[in-house]
A and B are shown apart, each in its own frame.
Chain A
Amino acid sequence: MLGLIILGTFIAMILIAFKTIIEPKLAHSVVLSMGIGLSSVMLFVTFQSPDVALTQAVIGVGISSLIFLMGLKHLRGGYES
């Protein structure tokens, strides 16, 4: 059961990553990168490391994506590629 969870999550992460790079609208690309971060949190919990999972959930998903969105608001062209 453990191997099946790891394999399925990796396949989902690769598909989401491909869609993140190809997407022309930038705000949608940032939200998809949050999806990659949350899948990696699930993998960290499966690998029995709760400290790293909490840190990635707070810093890698929370503050990092918010910094991207604030930067896109300054650039004023956040809907084109």
Chain B
Amino acid sequence: MIETILNFLNQKEVIQATVVIGSMGLFLIGLFGLLTQRHFIKLFISIEIMEVSIFLLFIGLSFQRGLTAPMLGDGIKTFTNMNDPIPHAMILTAIVIGMAVLALGVSMAIEYHKLTGITDVDKMNRLRN
């Protein structure tokens, strides 16, 4: 019984379906938070959840069982039977840029609160203070 469940979950199509459905569910939860929350900092936390889900989708879809990490180590001396290194390089850039955007957003929230004292998104409807 347990053996059949484990063997069913180890197939290639089931792993890819799990990755796609799981990361899309995480993306939808982040989107729900972005649309309904009212504090300014909570919007940035929701954006970070959406970013993490997309990174998981990228790397999960380029993963093949049985192949190893794309670097040499002890026991591995040639560049054969390795995973794809191109999505890893793209996700590295995306993680750093996501952090930069979040830092700039948080500093703008700090400055706005210092000028008007408002952190509720529904009350930020004035062009000048």
Q: Is the CB of B110 within 8 A of A51?
A: no
Q: Is the CB of A64 within 8 A of B99?
A: yes
Number of A residues with CB within 8 Å of any CB on chain B: 44
Number of B residues with CB within 8 Å of any CB on chain A: 55
Q: Is the CB of B49 within 8 A of A33?
A: yes
Given contacts A49-B88, A75-B119, whether A33 and B45 have CB atoms under 8 Å apart is yes
Q: Is the CB of A6 within 8 A of B15?
A: yes
CA distance in complex: A68, B29 (Å): 20
A11-35 vs B, CB cutoff 8 Å, 1 = contact: the mask equals: 1011001101100001001100100
CA distance in complex: A43, B32 (Å): 24
Q: Is the CB of A29 within 8 A of B42?
A: yes
Q: Is the CB of A14 within 8 A of B49?
A: no
CA distance in complex: A50, B83 (Å): 12
- Which residues of B are at the interface with A, using a C-beta cutoff of 8 A? 6, 8-11, 14-15, 18-19, 22-23, 25-26, 29-30, 32-33, 37-39, 41-42, 44-46, 48-49, 52, 55-56, 59-60, 63, 65, 67-69, 71, 83, 88, 91-92, 95-96, 98-99, 102-103, 106-107, 109-110, 113-114, 119
